Amino acid sequence: MTKQFTVQCGFAAYHANTVSVEADTLEEALEKAIEVANQDPNWKSVDHCGRTHVDACCMGRDEDPWDRDKSLPVPARFTEKGEPPVITLTGPRPPGGVAVTGGTVRVRFADPAATVTTEVSDPPPPPGNKPVVTVRPRPDRAPEVEVAGAKAIVRVQGWEGIDHA
C-alpha cells in the first residue's frame, strides 16, 4: 500500500558580487570585502546551482517536514553533501595504496619518522565534504585510522595480513 509523504527539496543558487578593497593584510581585505559586498546592490546570479537535494521530509500530506515529532531522517545520498567518500587503504603498511571513490579526502600518514599528507579525489566531490583521514601505525604495526572534518567510510585491507572494515 502506498503512503503519502511531504518532502522539501532545494538547491543552492549562487550569486556573486565582485568588489575591490584596500587593506594591509589578506584577512583585513576579506573582512572589508564582505562588508562592502553586503552593502552593494550589484549582486548577480552566476547561473550555477547545485544539484537538487532533500532538506527535510515526513509522512503525511501537506505536513511540516521540519516538525521534530514527524520529521524522518534523510539518507546521505539525498542530502546536499551527498554520500561520504569511500577510502580504501591497502597494505602491507603505511603508506601502502590509497583509493578514493565518491569525493575528495586528505589522507595523512603519520609515523614517528615523518608525516605525509596527500589529497586524493574521485570527482566530483560532494560540496562541503572534504574529510582528513589520518593513518598511523599502532605498536603492533596495525593501522590506527582517524577521520576529522567531515564523514568518510574507511576500508583497510591487507595490512600486515589483517583485513579491517
More confident residue, 69 or 163: 69
Q: Give, rounded to a whole angstrom, the gap between the first and last alpha carbons of the chain.
A: 37
Q: Which residue, chain included where needed, has cell 552593494?
A: 40
Residue 144, pLDDT above cutoff 90: no
**Has residue 40 got a pLDDT over 70?**
yes
Report the relative pairing of strands 143-148 and 132-137 from DSSP bridges: antiparallel
More reliable by pLDDT, 78 or 83: 78
Lowest mean pLDDT segment, chosen from 72-76, 110-114, 136-140: 110-114
What's residue 163's pLDDT?
42
- Per-residue pLDDT band for 158 (boundaries 50, 70, 90) equals low
pLDDT value of residue 164? 42
